[in-house]
Structure 1
């Protein structure tokens, strides 16, 4: 198993969650999602991670330095089945994490979706996307995280802000690919870039 992946735009190593092929080309990362894989803890269940969750998607994450940052990537997905997605993820442990997804909706339309999990998951649809790629960004400002998405990598739309409730030292960030209903999908993350910077405004993304 390759225990680390180094990207020129990210100043810390990324580590795969399991023995799964992640292919690096310059500042891009390509992966095929594992069949029937997801990160989701059903809010209608008991809240037991073991009984009510699917936590088997492949991810590639690393630990950022303490302080504010942004992590950005252009995400391309070859959509096939419902909920296929390329994802940016913030992870503390199995009960505490969040993800920003470029996902195939049940209506077979590409969509930006977010999920925040504190014991159980809540998810929210943001907006539809024309085409098979979009820019996604995670930002941390103090104790608050923000998700933004962009169709052109210049103008950013606010998706959601939240406090995860995890210590900075717990948190890793990175990439994820999923195919909950299908047999896998190809995902490409281009221009993956980490910046130790503070957004001027959490909501407008500037």
Structure 2
């Protein structure tokens, strides 16, 4: 996610049209997007391209209706409510802040529509497919508006082989924030909003939550949330998601995550 990424050229002025792919620009609601200035999406670096094709998948109480980069063809849900998410080589989602040289938006993402005018909380047990050479392999939770406006919350393998919590927020270009090292194969991950604030957390027992990131909710009224797997360097891997839920409420204490 930081150094050995393959280059993915920016696609300016191109939009994928589909039943679930509404053109939006950062900070502009779906209803206002059609009247927004053409330069609004470029304010953060690029024109806003909305990825994704319609799909129909359910996991827990979540109905995924948009698949980015063929995510619906790479996922399978078993009878116990466990999702297997396969990802191929050199797949990542990152917008390089330095001359676009390391940008890559090929990672598959499975998304569900959310009313951002109401509180919401997305939670999942994330079991990434860590491998010996899997630099930046990760299981990921997303907030997504378009290719230039999103956040990912990752359980990821770093340059030293550690498995750690990472968050990346993209408004035109991406930042990159590494957090705690986690011992063990899995972590509970959570993203929550009360309509004003968005916060990300992780937990080892789903009881005690650690704050990872907190910022103002400046997303439009209609957004997408979902899951993804990435493999920026290795030849491919398999991640899993369990105990997933999407509820229309928020944490009560944004510092403690409860």
Q: TM-score, normalised by structure 1?
A: 0.91
Match of 1:53 in 2: 103
Match of 1:64 in 2: 114
Quote how far apart the aligned CAs of 1:52 are: 5.4
Confirm or deny that 1:31 pairs with 2:31: no
Structure 2 distance, partners of 1:164, 1:54, is: 25
Larger C-alpha radius of gyration, 1 or 2? Answer: 2
Contact 2:128 2:238 in 1 (8 A): yes
Confirm or deny that 1:158 pairs with 2:211: yes
Higher relative contact order (CA 8 A, sep 6+): 1
Structure 1 runs (4+) deviating above 6 angstroms are: none
Structure 2 distance, partners of 1:164, 1:123, is: 19
Structure 2 distance, partners of 1:8, 1:73, is: 10
Aligned pairs for 1:37-186 (under 5 A) are 37-45=91-99, 53-65=103-115, 66-80=117-131, 81-163=134-216, 165-169=218-222, 171-186=223-238
Confirm or deny that 1:3 pairs with 2:55: yes
Structure 2 distance, partners of 1:21, 1:124, is: 27
CA RMSD of aligned residues (A): 1.7
Structure 2 distance, partners of 1:160, 1:154, is: 18
Out of 164, 188, 194, the position equivalent to 2:240 is: 188
Contact 1:34 1:58 in 2 (8 A): no
Quote how far apart the aligned CAs of 1:9 are: 2.6
Structure 2 distance, partners of 1:45, 1:166, is: 25
Quote how far apart the aligned CAs of 1:163 are: 2.9
Aligned pairs for 1:194-205 (under 5 A) are 194-205=246-257
Quote how far apart the aligned CAs of 1:130 are: 0.5
For residue 55 of structure 2, give the secondary structure of its aligned residue in structure 1: coil
For residue 59 of structure 2, give the secondary structure of its aligned residue in structure 1: coil
Contact 1:34 1:183 in 2 (8 A): yes
Quote how far apart the aligned CAs of 1:136 are: 0.4
Q: What is the CA deviation profile of residues 162-206 of structure 1, one whole-angstrom value per residue up to 9, with x for unaligned ones?
A: 23532021x100001100011111100001111111211111101
Higher normalized strand content (fraction of residues): 1
Quote how far apart the aligned CAs of 1:29 are: 1.0
Structure 1 distance, partners of 2:59, 2:240, is: 14
For residue 213 of structure 2, give the secondary structure of its aligned residue in structure 1: strand
Structure 2 residue ranges without an equivalent (≥5): 1-52
